[in-house]
């Protein structure tokens, strides 16, 4: 049996830089007729505010098009700053309604870790692809529930 490869060893291998770098979005994820994925940030805390939203402004294949928040008072500022229409603003309770929004392809879950499973499952059940910050969930059974919801709903 061979020894496990460290991250450093992997990255030093020829071709690994391409495999490990964000060289683009796989075409299978891109919606028909559009070369940009509409992303909704679920959770508007510090990481979403200072890292993710500004980062999405620099991407070629993703655009911040929606938000999901538990604090409605944050919505107007985000809407103005990122030109997000009211139809792309959701609360945690209305997240399932995102299923009817063709402008949003992905839900990026950045709520506190204890809520990751709840929000990822709701987004997957709404038929959206889900990106989730680590940890994916708090327990192995929650992780399994997220995976099952994504597989069941094509996300």
pLDDT tens digit string along 29-41?
A: 555 556 899 999 9
What mean pLDDT is reported for the chain? 85
pLDDT (tens digit, 9 = 90+) per residue, 113-152? 999 999 999 999 999 999 999 999 999 999 999 999 999 9
pLDDT of residue 13: 56
15 pLDDT band, cuts 50/70/90, is very low
Q: Name residue 69's beta-bridge partners.
A: 91
pLDDT at residue 25, rounded to an integer: 47
């Amino acid at each position: 049996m061979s020894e496990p490869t460290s991250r450093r060893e992997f990255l030093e291998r020829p071709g690994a830089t391409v495999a490990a770098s964000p060289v683009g979005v796989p075409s299978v994820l891109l919606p028909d007729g559009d070369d940009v994925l509409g992303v909704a940030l679920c959770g508007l805390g510090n990481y979403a505010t200072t890292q993710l939203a500004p980062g999405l402004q620099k991407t070629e294949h993703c655009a911040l098009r929606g938000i999901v928040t538990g604090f409605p008072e944050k919505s107007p500022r985000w809407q103005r700053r990122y030109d997000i229409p009211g139809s792309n603003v959701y609360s945690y309770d209305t997240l399932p309604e995102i299923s009817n929004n063709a402008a949003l392809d992905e839900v990026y879950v950045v709520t506190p870790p204890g809520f990751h499973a709840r929000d990822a499952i709701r987004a997957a059940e709404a038929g959206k692809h889900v990106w989730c910050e680590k940890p994916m969930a708090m327990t192995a059974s929650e992780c399994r529930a997220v995976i099952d919801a994504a597989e069941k709903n094509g996300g």
